[in-house]
Structure 1
Amino acid sequence: MYSNDIRGGLDYGLCRYGKSRVRFRGPMPDLTADLLVCLGGTETFGRFHPDPWPQLLGDRLGAEIANFGQVNAGLDLFLQDPEVLRIASGARLCVMQVIGAQNMSNRFYSVHPRRNDRFVKASDALMTLYPDVDFSQIAFTGALMTTLFDTSPERFEVVVREVQVAWVSRMRLILGHLPRPVHLLWFAESAPPANARAALIPPLKDPSFITREMLDALSSRIGGVVEIVEPASARSTEGMVFSEFDAMLAATMLSATAHDRAAQALSDCLRHLWDARGDRDDASD
């Protein structure tokens, strides 16, 4: 469980699926078994957590879990990985964590295809909108968004509306690859803001720029949204494993208690679906 890295912390058992160029958290499941596939970002990967919510959910359901969480992932990571989509499309059930909209390429800027929080290039449209910004000095999407807001909140709104529209479109594409019903997990510090304007108010919070309106736009394609909220004031690092070097970062993560709550809520929601599919399989034998 513990890493041999000089910084200490967890050994995540990183593994690669087929021809995928991304290493995901292990252990790799038996891909010939009925799978519960979990897709998402940092919380799904479970940084610093020996037992993140996907593992806890699998334990509750008695399911083989493929954890396709990735730290700072954006939707592009999944859409550009045919191996992940192939495995997920054949899963028995899928749960997808709601991840933010800023870490994906769009009409205004491009990001790294696997490390989606890395800002690669501003488009001509963004340079025209922000001629007063030196994009050569920006390396990450978080810094990009902060710079754009600080330079012009009015122009920033134009960029955010673009990434919000792109997020809904790409979520529909991803959901089209997954077996229905897909359940979404909202796993964050606060509940989804009601509308687009509410999502623009700094400080930016994960999942960035996602609103309840955007989730509602996906309602015909999903089985539901499970919401687990843990305010910053309720966070604790108890049960987490990290080095002294990572202590400050670990303190910003959702707690082990929140992961357990997420697994329990999802188990309550999915149990009848998991068991019902097992009953049908038994009847067909």
Structure 2
Amino acid sequence: MDGPYTACLGGTETFGRFVGEPFPALLEQRIGRTCLNLGSICCGLEAMSGDETLIELANGAEVCILQVPGAHSLSNDLFRVHPRRNDRFLAPTEMLRGLYPEVDFTEFHFTRHLLGRLHALADARFETVLDQLRNAWSERLQDLIARLQVPVVLLWLRYESGSKSGAPDALGTEPLLVDSHMVSRLRPACAAIVEIPVRASAESHELEDMLFGVLQQPSAEHLIGPATHREISERLYRALMDLS
């Protein structure tokens, strides 16, 4: 790219599904400099860390805004996910089969569905699952940040209630299985961490301001609306000004 720019790396919220102007576009207007939107629908840590072109584009920026991904969206010692659509469950490992020999894994197509079922079995084995996923998330995200040779602003869009994708309440809110302790451990590697509590459009009364077809409404209800994108852009603008 010609000229200085800010890279915005993340998932569905960064991409700005169902909104006319996602927060990278609004931030671009605010700072008067190109904000390259590298967000992608259902893009998690697996896709971000595995795309060398994405890393190269991020490293060409003056600063990289990195949306915190969920801990369920990467391949690990328990299961493999689709390399691009990281919400898709591909196959269990022998470790997971051994941990849950009674489970038929062929019935699962999404990691969230899988984890909800394993949690519903209500025994100590799920703690092993959580430990594996959270450890893998921490290691891979630290590695990704280390590969980014520019200042990184970590953007934690913390859903306050419910879930944008229908996960059982017991699994927590988006980004799934990520808590404040996990994020705070990344602070030394980041130029800044911007934590913003958000609500899905169905709860924030922004649904009528979103752009979607009739059949897409259930999906739109679980995502953030345009007013929230404006708030995110303003918070990021202040964070970038503090760094300058």
Give the TM-score normalised by structure 2.
Answer: 0.91
**CA-CA distance at 1:96 after TM superposition:** 0.7
Residues 73 and 116 in structure 1, CA contact (< 8 A), matched pair in contact too: yes
Alignment pair present for 1:221 and 2:171: no
1:238 match: secondary structure: helix
From 160, 169, 174, the counterpart of 1:206: 174
Specify the alignment match of 1:53 in structure 2: 23
State which drifts further: 172-181 or 52-61.
Answer: 172-181
Matches within 5 A, 1:61-210: 61-190=31-160, 202-210=170-178
Distance in 1 of aligned mates of 2:24 and 2:180: 24
Distance in 2 of aligned mates of 1:210 and 1:104: 13
Distance in 1 of aligned mates of 2:199 and 2:18: 19
Give the TM-score normalised by structure 1.
Answer: 0.79
1:142 match: secondary structure: helix
**CA-CA distance at 1:203 after TM superposition:** 4.5
Residues 54 and 65 in structure 1, CA contact (< 8 A), matched pair in contact too: yes
**CA-CA distance at 1:272 after TM superposition:** 4.7
Distance in 1 of aligned mates of 2:205 and 2:219: 12
Distance in 2 of aligned mates of 1:203 and 1:166: 17
Q: Which has the higher contact order (CA 8 A, sep 6+)?
A: 2
- Stretches of 4+ aligned residues off by more than 4 angstroms: none
**CA-CA distance at 1:237 after TM superposition:** 1.4
Q: For 1:176, give the aligned amino acid.
A: A
Specify the alignment match of 2:207 in structure 1: 237
Q: For 2:11, give the aligned amino acid.
A: G
- Gaps spanning 5+ residues in structure 2: where? 162-167
Matches within 5 A, 1:14-29: none
Distance in 1 of aligned mates of 2:160 and 2:195: 9
2:209 match: secondary structure: coil
Specify the alignment match of 1:28 in structure 2: none
Q: Report the number of matched residues.
A: 236
Distance in 2 of aligned mates of 1:203 and 1:124: 23
Indicate how the Cα distance of structure 1 residues 153 and 225 shifts in structure 2: closer, same or farther if over 3 A, else same. Answer: farther
**Percent pairwise identity:** 34
